[in-house]
Each structure stands twice: as structure tokens, then as C-alpha cells.
Structure 1
């Protein structure tokens, strides 16, 4: 599932883009919609989008300034500018943008860009093949005052994001804040017992006690432990669950 963030100060335009993307591309999830650059930069750290549709004229930080700030990230999302200016190509490619779309964005233009995104994401995925075993995360260190405690990843029950921070819950129900993003966890735990079930949750399948049906064919995961935590499965992540549990 490709994760898309829309950064657009015109709410109607943002809603139209979201609606068209969802209609044209079943394997792309709009994980966040922001209406200004400052909020977008903060939200990116939490939701870790693969792609950003970025308006040029934003209140506060302009789109180009947001794109320039993103270049400092270890993992830079693909950037597609949305602009009212036809002659924007030079500026767009100065910050390594994948493409740009001129407002009002037509379905034909959007379909072309979505296809380009899919091809680029496939190239990125292919380049990672063979590297997973080297980057597989086995242990974490947690700061405990004057010492670092080592935690085996298989002792983790749940990884979750809250208030733009990331936490782990161990099998002993201990909760610790960590500096690794959810996206990094997802990538470095690929092929293990962990899978992403929601934009805010990564679960250890060995720690699932029950699966219950929820509103409109949605699912809830009941986890082991004293708290009997109920974790929702996002509609876009049901296939992830089915890859780990036969039902």
C-alpha cells in the first residue's frame, strides 16, 4: 500500500484530490491531509508518507521551502507539486520532485502521475531486495536514566504512534518511547512476525489473542496481556493481516 499525504491550503481542492485518488488507485492510501507547511513538516515525522502532493502557494512556509526541508530527511518522500503555474518545471526539479500537476487537476493528469508514482515505488522496492536480512532489526536500546536497556524485538507486543511520538509495549506491558519511526520499524521488521495493521499501529502476530468483527466488516485485534488491548485494523491493511493469519 502506497501512503500519500496531501498538503493543500484549499480544503475543496484537497478533498477533490483525495476523492480522485481513492477512485483511481485502490493500492494508494491517503494517510494525511494538511493545510499548511508547518503542520505538514510535523505530520510527516509521524505518518511517514511515501508520496506528497504539495501545493506551491501555502500559508507560512511555501511548498518549495517544505520540499527543501524534506531533503534533510534520511528517507525523502516522493514529491509531486500541485500548482497554478504552467511554467513551474524548473523550480520543481530543483528539489528533485518526481513531477508536478497544474490546477485544476484533471483525472487524466492525475492518472498519469499515479502511474509514474507506482513505477518509481516499484523501482525503490526492487532496490531494497536482498538488503532486508542485513537491515533486520533484532534488538532495541531503551534509555533508562543512567543506563541503556537492551530489548529483544521478539519481546515487543505492540508498536504505536501517539502525539507524533512512537512507543513500544513489551510482553510485560511495559511502555517505552523510542526514536525510530513507524515507517522504519515497518521496513526493518519486514518478513518477521510484525505487520502494520493501521496507520498508527504495528502488531506482533504472536501477541494476538482474538480477532473480532467490527463496524462495516472492519476488524479489531484483541492482544494478549492484562489490558486486553483492542487494536483496529485499517481497511487498507486487511490484506496484511490475512498474510499472517488464515481466516
Structure 2
């Protein structure tokens, strides 16, 4: 099996302190190598042509070509580098993922934030970077389903058994947790919202707000919402708009390809 090659990284940000901090973090990571640091979009484009990096960390707002403009230029290439935006602005997430960015890191960041990005890239691009994950996975015994298929929810003195696929969303209100199903029925739940979240498959259920968990299988539309957040319209017998908090916007890319 081939060893993981080092990821060649280019950093583009007009804040010198940010570039220094990011460079220091990446130098300590055994799988990353910083090949160029740039301070405007035009310089970054030229250096990308020269150094052919695997990964580019881009600021959104830079002199000359902006980070978004540069990313949209790069995505037209036959083999573009992986793009990660590092920015102080949390209201560009949708545009960032439309530009095919793989992640969106908010300033101020720390080493753990950047390490999560690198782990995500290694997982998603294992073949490109010579990691034979398939072989490793094939050696592991099959794992039992760790998430319950059905739940007991309540209406008055009646206990209803509900399949997890029928859950449209769950929410907390006045210290109670409620569940609405795809057919519009509303139930109470004896679990607190965090306990319910832990029992739902995170590949399908998204804690989009501190008070809401949604079944992303039923997500229908996304639109701007209050306080620079977004609203998810959930399809079902009753279409419902669910808030997505600003803090959770960047995690939408796990469920929606923008």
C-alpha cells in the first residue's frame, strides 16, 4: 500500500497574521506542506499555476480578484485544487459551496479547526491521495446498526411506535420535546433533544438549530432567514419552515451539494 503523499497547500489571505498562523498549524501537520503564501487573488492565481497545489485556503475578501471569483475560475479547470474558505464573514457560505469549496472555516480558527478540515479531505479524497481506505474497511467486521429503527412517541395516554424514516423534524419548546411526522402528526417525546439527536443517524438527521433536528431527506427548499441565518422548507403533508442558525450554516454541505 502506498503511503499518503503530502498535500501541497497554497494560502491566500491579505491578513499577514492569519497567513502566519495558518502556516504554523499546517507545518505541524505531517501530511501538509505549504508551498506558497499570497496576499491577493491575482497573485494567488499565478502561484496556483506555478505550484499546482492540491489544496488552497482562500480568504473571501482580498484585493484584486476576490476569493469567490478565484474559486469560480478554478472550478472550470479540468483538475482544480481543493478549495477551503477561511473568512471572518459567515454570510457567504452558500456562495462558497456553489463555488465547489469543500469547507468553510470561520476566523478566528484554531489548530483543531484546521485538523478537522484535513481529516475531511483525507476521507473524501483518499484515492486521489493514495490512501487505500477500501482495503482497511474490508478487513473490519460488519457493524450492527447502532441507531434504533423505531421510537415510542406519545399523544395523550397513547403510545405510538414511529419508524425513524417517518420523522419530519423534532424540536424543543418550553422544556418539552415534540416530534412531527411526515403525515403531519405531532407527538411528545420523553427524551431531551440531545438524547434524541444521539439516537438518530447523523447522516440523515441534522441539528440545524439548538432547538431543532430535521430529517434532511425531506428538505425541499432553502432561503434566507432572520439574522443572517437560513430557512429550510420541509416537504410533507404540512410544509414547514425550520430555522438554520448561522453557526450551523457551514455544516449544510454535508447534506446538500451546492
Kindly indicate which of the two structures has a greater share of residues assigned to helix: 1
Structure exhibiting the larger radius of gyration computed from Cα positions: 2
Question: Under a length normalisation based on structure 1, what TM-score does the superposition of the two structures give?
Answer: 0.49
Question: Under a length normalisation based on structure 2, what TM-score does the superposition of the two structures give?
Answer: 0.47
